[in-house]
């Protein structure tokens, strides 16, 4: 996790000092809104041969690649008029629960009962973290999404 992201978690004072890996889409999306000035900047192509969105290739944004993609999807859903805040949050929570099958103990990734417990604990910790961040992200939406629409 980058120094900038660690500072954001310290400022949040939500009982953890980093994002629970591999990253709940709400948590990662919040960090994207803090590390990029607006939607357009986060989605701007990075110019590499893969041409990733800047948020995906940024060392400031923690999380597994698939989960950063999910956070970008979540941000796109929030910007869309086709889904409500509640619908987008439900999608993000469902994504987190099914990531690596963690809400059900990790499926084939878990080799024993202790591993199953670790997957479930990770799911709960990441969900609790995201639940604390949701109100903060909802507050940011009014300026962050619309900032670049006139461009």
Q: Report pLDDT for 95.
A: 98
What does the pLDDT look like over 119-137, one tens digit per residue? 999 999 999 999 999 998 8
**pLDDT over 70 (residue 46):** yes
Can you give the pTM of this predicted structure?
0.90
Question: Which residues lie across from 53 on neighbouring strands?
Answer: 45
Residue 150's alpha-carbon distances to 6, 41, 82, 105, in angstroms, are: 32, 14, 20, 46
What does the pLDDT look like over 93-118, one tens digit per residue? 999 999 999 999 999 999 999 999 99
Where along the chain do its domains lie? 3-144
**pLDDT over 60 (residue 29):** yes
DSSP 3-state of 53: strand
Mean pLDDT of 87-95: 97
- For helices 25-35 and 65-79, what crossing angle results, to 10°? 80
As a whole number of angstroms, the distance between CA 24 and CA 125 comes to 10
Mean pLDDT of 42-71: 93
Q: How confident is the model at residue 139 (pLDDT cuts 50, 70, 90)?
A: confident
**pLDDT over 90 (residue 4):** no
Neighbours of 2 (CB within 10 A): 14
Q: Report pLDDT for 68.
A: 97
Mean pLDDT of 41-52: 90
**pLDDT over 50 (residue 151):** no
* Tokens at 93, concatenated: 């929570």
Q: Report pLDDT for 148.
A: 54
27-36, 56-65, 139-148: lowest mean pLDDT where? 139-148
As a whole number of angstroms, the distance between CA 68 and CA 83 comes to 20
As a whole number of angstroms, the distance between CA 13 and CA 142 comes to 23
């Amino acid at each position: 996790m980058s120094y900038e992201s660690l500072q954001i978690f310290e400022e949040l004072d939500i009982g953890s000092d980093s994002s629970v890996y591999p990253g709940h889409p709400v948590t990662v999306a919040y960090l994207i809104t803090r590390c990029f000035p607006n939607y357009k900047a986060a989605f701007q192509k990075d110019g590499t041969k893969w041409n990733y969105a800047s948020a995906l290739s940024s060392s400031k944004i923690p999380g597994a690649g698939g989960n950063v993609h999910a956070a970008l999807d979540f941000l796109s859903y929030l910007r869309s008029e086709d889904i409500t805040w509640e619908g987008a949050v439900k999608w993000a929570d469902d994504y987190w629960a099914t990531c690596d099958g963690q809400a059900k103990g990790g499926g084939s990734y878990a080799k024993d009962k202790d591993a199953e417990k670790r997957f479930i604990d990770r799911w709960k910790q990441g969900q609790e973290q995201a639940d604390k961040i949701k109100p903060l992200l909802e507050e940011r939406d009014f300026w962050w999404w619309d900032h670049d629409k006139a461009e």
